[in-house]
Structure formats: C-alpha cells, structure tokens
Amino acid sequence: MIEEKEVTPDTLVGLCVERSLDMVVGIMAILKAGGAYVPLDPDYPQARLEYMLEDAKLDTVLTQRQLADKVPVTTKQALYLNDEFILDRLAQYSTRNINLNESGLT
C-alpha cells in the first residue's frame, strides 16, 4: 500500500490529522519525499473538505483512523497513520536520509 502511493517531487498529498505529533511527522515525511502537503483541518465543514479534495485532485491523504467519519476520502485515497498494518510497514524502512541525487530534488 505504501509503495502504491509513489510520492515524488511536486506530488500533492493531503494531511488531515488532529494537532499532534502525527501532524509533524506527516508534514516532515511528505516534504522529505519531495511532495507538497495540502493541510486539511478535520474541523472544517464537510463541504469545505470535499471542495478542497476535489480542487487539489489528491490521490493520497494521510489521516487518522478516528477521523474516518469526518474526512470524506475514499479507501483508495486514505492512508491511516495510526493503523497497525501501516505502522508495521513503516518500521521496516530505513531511518537514514536518502541520497539527493537519487531523489531528483535540488
């Protein structure tokens, strides 16, 4: 699932989480992958969130399982940061910085 998202330079990724450490980690992860994050506040009205998702044409939205009812994302778009499956998969990745030449970032 993580590999399917393929966040590359200039990819827009939605971030809809409560204010917490998950928010900081999500922002850093998106930026480190070269993507740009679109902040989605879970307290926004449903219509506003729907408009922002449609306008930005987001393929990936990082969110939390407890916000599933508030955030109008499809299962294809959503990546739940506090899901056990995702946490296990993320633990397998290296914590070392990637080589800038390999990432295509300048």
pLDDT confidence of residue 103 = 67
Sign of the C-alpha dihedral, residues 39, 45, 46, 51?
A: negative
pLDDT confidence of residue 106 = 64
Q: Are 27 and 73 in contact (CB under 8 A)?
A: no
Q: What is the mean pLDDT of the chain?
A: 82
Could you tell me where the DSSP H helices lie in 1-106?
Answer: 2-5, 21-32, 46-56, 84-91, 100-103
Q: State the greatest distance between any 2 C-alpha atoms of the chain, in Å, as a whole number.
A: 42
**Is the predicted pLDDT of residue 12 greater than 70, yes or no?**
yes
Distance in angstroms (rounded) separating the CA atoms of residues 65 and 79: 9
Spans of all domains in the chain: 8-91
Residues 57-91 pLDDT 10s: 998 898 888 888 888 888 888 878 777 776 677 67
pLDDT confidence of residue 33 = 80
Enter the CATH code of domain 8-91: 3.40.50.980
Residues 32-51 pLDDT 10s: 888 899 999 999 999 999 99
DSSP-derived pairing of the beta strands 60-63 and 36-39: unpaired
Residue 88 DSSP SS3: helix
pTM value is 0.73
